[in-house]
Amino acid sequence: MTARQLTLDEALYGGLPPHVRWSDTSAGAALSMVGKTRRLRRRVLWCVAGRVEGATCDEVEVALGLAHQTISARIRELVQLECLFDTTARRRTRSGRWARVYRLTPHAHRAWQEAVTADDADEEDGR
């Protein structure tokens, strides 16, 4: 875990995933995500990385089969972590509305390439 991830997970939101202050239901939903957000961010990052043209939140939702609330929060965190950026391109969602297209930042792309290379090496070694 990098210092940047530690900052996001433990400090940015007071140790909880994002939630609406003073809302018991929002806090409850945030508590239900504790321990899951890092893995979900990784899944979102890999989904976007696998698309040369980038991806909208809606496209990631469809690809991963997860709810908008889950994916949009993880995309926001990845933007804050400087792993994703808004390309300024826009594409239509399933509902016909325009949505931002996100891509990996250069440092996130390098990390993704290193992870893919390591995975390929493991497969060749039979691990």
Residue 108 inside a domain? The answer is yes
**Which domain CATH number covers 112?**
1.10.10.10
Assess if residue 14 is contained within a domain: no
- Measured distance CA(56)–CA(42) in Å, rounded: 16
Residue 17 is assigned to a structural domain of this protein? no
Answer yes or no: is 110 within a domain: yes
Residue pair 57/100 in contact by the 8 Å Cβ criterion: yes
Answer yes or no: is 30 within a domain: no
Structural domain tally of the chain? 1
Does residue 8 form part of some domain?
A: no
Residue 5 in domain: no
Which tens digit of pLDDT belongs to each residue from 68-87?
A: 989 998 999 899 888 999 99
pLDDT in tens, 94-113: 999 999 999 999 888 877 77
Each residue's pLDDT tens digit, 14-68: 666 777 878 889 888 878 877 788 889 889 999 999 999 999 999 999 999 999 9
- Domain membership of residue 78 (yes or no) is yes
Whole domain around residue 40: which residue ranges? 35-124
